[in-house]
């Protein structure tokens, strides 16, 4: 077959394969043109999920009648004039492909009126044939109507999803673009039903809440930061709102990035957002956030893909650091203690215990200690106890924590004076005892602490009752301590008289080779021992003092790295992942009995660390039951 030039209609249909993937792509391209035209209000109407009809009307500056035919030709644009303009594109559109591509795969109509004209003009394109402009009635602005999308390429039409799915995609695009332009009002109607109605606002906070959901109102934290200097054109700033850790979602679809007014998708920025929350949300969940970035357009290339959602930064690493640090600083300043609201059973009034039908309420064994020597108590004699039939819950499945019930009262204020910053002694595992719930006669003073089930510490603050997970808190303490020691220099290592050797598969040995420099700095000296073995020659002194077994520890660590759970390509991420494992293994466990000194030291260290509200895996270290909730449950009036 001889070489020949393709017909313009075929060229446009080929281009449409990249520019117009589905009805949502049409909506995006037309809305971005409305932004460039200075619109303050946009109305979108769709039918059949966008297959049958897409009609978009804006109140922008409009297109002159003599330029309507040119507007639907390929590579015709008012945004740039030469290739040098691509080095600093500040408009949403600039390629001159969108309208021509859309018109080539649909029955297309463009109607526009400039503010200086007395009448609007209309042009139609059918099967790639451009008609002549004709006068019509219409308000200032532009209206685009797309009917029978992909009727010229039936194969593409068959690949579209259901009407509901395509309508949802369009709604998502409109929400995203509405975040990018809060000063523009948006209304989306599908088959006569209003899906979105977002009024224009000068406060981006209102738009963010309106798009992400009213349930986030009051649960968002402001993020702000900047780097560079305006003098040399390197100034880059970030402002946004991120959700509290408990608002994290199973997917990352509620993470949005707006660069110079353009909604973009960038894996590096998504990673920075998640790293900012490291240790505050569980690894399988994703924080919620909207970040607005402003930078010199010359420092970013938006001409990467026809869809213009992907960009390429001249220097991506400083931007990554800016977003991560801004989020970390905002979270450090926020009160991240999670309030615990006790739900009321539907069968019983608030404040009254509910019982299963036909059974008596469960009543645990109660042991009252009058000999407690905590604050406000006198020296007591032998303890007195009153027993009731134990409940089925007395033998719960919390391993040793569920089989041993002992309380510890600690005067933290007095104990703090005697406690220095020394490694916390290893707690003694609780011995089996008769199932019981132990109740102190009194808990006096802000620093009084009670250990419950050898797993939780109960104290108070100005807002209510605070329940602390001793393992999660100590895990966070160990993480911060290890991180600080790593920053100061290599961790102290204890040499093994005889190397500890364990079996490992080739993937784990390969992971060891890539992580070896990091592990050595953390005090872990290990080498491959043959094709399927690893020998440990040195182990961190801190972990040895916490009775961590070197073989199983490193075996699990390398297995996780081999499975991709540890990011070996990012040094900071790999460091945090390894420290996560180290701190978890070194921390006290649920069921470990802590003495007064251990409790006092643990809580004293809590006051000196960052992010004490969550363990390195993102689980909460403590929860608060507000005093108002307690008063409600006990049927008391506030105050």
Over the stretch 327-362, which tens digit does the pLDDT of each residue have?
999 988 886 766 665 555 444 444 444 433 444 444
Per-residue model confidence as pLDDT tens digits over 27-60: 999 999 999 899 999 999 999 999 999 999 999 9
**In 221-303, which ranges are continuous DSSP H helix?**
267-276
Please give the angle made by the CA atoms of 177, 331 and 518, to the nearest 5 degrees. Answer: 105
- pLDDT, residue 95, reads 57
E strand map for 335-463? 338-339, 366-368, 384-386, 409-411, 428-429, 437-439, 448-452, 456-461
Question: What's the mean pLDDT in 602-615?
Answer: 75
Residues 129-144: tens digit of each pLDDT: 888 899 999 999 999 9
DSSP classification of residue 218:
T
More confident residue, 239 or 408: 239
Q: Report pLDDT for 93.
A: 54
* CA 379/CA 370 separation, integer angstroms: 8
**Burial status of residue 608 (CB atoms within 10 A of its CB: 0-12, 13-18, 19 or more):** exposed
Beta bridge partners of 108: 125, 146
112 with 68: CB under 8 angstroms? yes
Mean pLDDT (the chain) is 78
Q: Tell whether the model's pLDDT for residue 363 goes beyond 60.
A: no
Task: Tell me the pLDDT tens digit for each residue of 160-175.
Answer: 888 988 999 999 999 9
- Tell me: pLDDT of 10 over 90: no
CA gap 633, 629 in Å, rounded: 6
Residue 387 has what pLDDT?
35
Contact in structure between 464 and 627 (CB atoms under 8 Å):
yes
pLDDT > 70: percent of the chain? 74
DSSP 117: -
Confidence of residue 632 (pLDDT cuts 50, 70, 90): confident
Alpha carbons 237 and 229: distance in angstroms, whole number:
10
pLDDT higher than threshold 70 for residue 467: yes
Give the angle subtended at the CA of 299 by the CAs of 295 and 305, to the nearest 5°.
Answer: 105
Is the pLDDT confidence value at 597 over 90? no
CA atoms of 416 and 606, how far apart (whole Å): 12
Tokens standing for residue 102: 């859309």
Q: Which pLDDT score, from 0 to 100, does residue 366 have?
A: 32
Tens digit of pLDDT for each residue in 485-524?
888 888 999 998 899 999 888 888 888 988 989 999 999 9
List the domains of the chain with CATH numbers: 8-198 (3.30.565.10), 204-334 (3.30.230.10), 366-373+399-474+589-633 (3.30.1540.20), 490-586 (3.30.1370.100)
The stretches of 89-236 forming alpha helices (DSSP H) are 98-104, 154-158, 163-180, 204-212
**pLDDT score of 584:** 87
Tokens of 252: 């990352």
- CA gyration radius, the chain: 32
The mean pLDDT value for 179-207 works out to 95
The Cα 312–Cα 310 span in angstroms is 7
Mean local confidence (pLDDT), 214-232: 91
Distance (Å, rounded) from C-alpha 100 to C-alpha 130?
10
Does residue 96 come out as left (phi exceeding 0), alpha (psi in the -120 to 50 range) or beta? left
What pLDDT score does 395 carry?
Answer: 35
Is the pLDDT at 77 greater than 70, yes or no? no
- The rounded distance, in Å, linking the Cα atoms of 604 and 621 is 14
Half-sphere exposure of 85 (CA within 13 A, CB side): 11
């Amino acid at each position: 077959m001889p070489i020949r030039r393709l017909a313009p209609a075929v060229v446009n249909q080929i281009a449409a394969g990249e520019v117009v993937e589905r009805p949502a792509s049409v909506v995006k391209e037309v809305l971005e043109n409305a932004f460039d035209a200075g619109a303050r209000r946009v109305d979108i109407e769709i039918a059949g999920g966008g297959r049958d009809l897409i009609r978009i009307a804006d109140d922008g500056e409009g297109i002159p009648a003599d330029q309507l035919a040119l507007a639907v030709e390929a590579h015709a644009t008012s945004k740039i004039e030469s290739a040098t303009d691509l080095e600093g594109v500040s408009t949403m559109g600039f390629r001159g492909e969108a309208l021509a591509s859309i018109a080539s795969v649909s029955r297309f109509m463009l109607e526009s009126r400039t503010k200086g004209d007395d009448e609007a003009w209309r042009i139609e394109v059918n099967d790639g044939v451009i008609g002549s402009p004709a006068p019509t009635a219409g308000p200032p602005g532009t209206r685009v109507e797309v009917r029978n999308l992909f009727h010229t390429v039936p194969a593409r039409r068959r690949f579209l999803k259901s009407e509901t799915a395509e309508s949802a995609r369009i709604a998502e695009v409109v929400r995203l673009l509405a975040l990018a332009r809060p000063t523009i009002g948006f209304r989306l109607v599908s088959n006569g039903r209003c899906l979105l109605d977002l009024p224009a606002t000068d406060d981006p906070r209102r738009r963010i809440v309106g798009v992400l959901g009213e349930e986030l109102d009051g649960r968002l934290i402001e993020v702000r930061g900047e780097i560079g200097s305006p003098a040399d054109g390197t100034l880059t700033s970030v402002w946004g709102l991120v959700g509290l850790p408990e608002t994290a979602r199973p997917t990352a679809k509620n993470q949005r990035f707006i660069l110079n007014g353009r909604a973009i998708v960038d894996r590096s920025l998504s990673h920075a957002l998640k790293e900012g929350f490291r240790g505050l949300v569980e690894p399988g969940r994703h924080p919620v956030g909207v970040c607005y970035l402003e930078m010199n357009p010359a420092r970013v290339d938006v001409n990467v893909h026809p869809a213009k959602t992907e960009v390429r930064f001249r220097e991506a690493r400083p931007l990554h650091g800016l977003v991560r640090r801004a989020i970390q600083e905002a979270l450090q300043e926020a009160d991240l203690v999670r309030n615990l609201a006790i739900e009321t059973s539907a069968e019983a009034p608030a404040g009254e215990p509910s019982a299963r039908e036909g059974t008596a309420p469960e009543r645990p064994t109660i042991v009252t200690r009058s000999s407690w020597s905590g604050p406000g108590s006198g020296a007591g004699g032998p303890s007195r106890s009153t027993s009731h039939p134990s409940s089925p819950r007395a033998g719960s499945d919390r391993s040793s924590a569920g089989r041993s019930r002992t309380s510890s009262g600690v005067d933290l204020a007095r104990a703090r004076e005697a406690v220095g910053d020394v490694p916390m002694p290893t707690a003694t595992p609780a011995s089996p005892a008769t199932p019981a719930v132990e109740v102190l006669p009194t808990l006096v003073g802000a620093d009084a602490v009670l250990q419950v089930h050898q797993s939780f510490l109960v104290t108070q603050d100005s807002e209510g009752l605070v329940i602390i997970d001793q393992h999660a808190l100590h895990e966070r303490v160990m993480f911060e301590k290890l991180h600080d020691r790593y920053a100061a220099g290599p961790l102290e290592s204890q040499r093994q008289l005889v190397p500890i050797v364990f079996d490992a598969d080739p993937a784990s040995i390969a992971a060891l080779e890539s992580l070896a420099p990091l592990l050595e700095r953390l005090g872990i000296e290990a080498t491959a021992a043959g094709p399927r073995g690893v020998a440990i020659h040195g182990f961190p002194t801190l972990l040895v003092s916490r009775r961590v077994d070197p073989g199983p520890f490193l075996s699990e660590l390398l297995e996780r790295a081999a499975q991709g759970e540890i990011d070996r390509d990012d040094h900071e991420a790999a460091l945090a992942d390894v420290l996560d494992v180290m701190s978890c293994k070194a921390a006290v466990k649920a069921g470990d009995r802590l003495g007064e000194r251990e409790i006092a030291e643990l809580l004293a260290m809590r006051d000196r660390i960052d992010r004490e509200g969550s363990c390195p895996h993102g689980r909460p270290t403590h929860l608060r039951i507000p005093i108002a909730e307690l008063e409600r449950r006990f049927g008391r009036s506030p105050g």
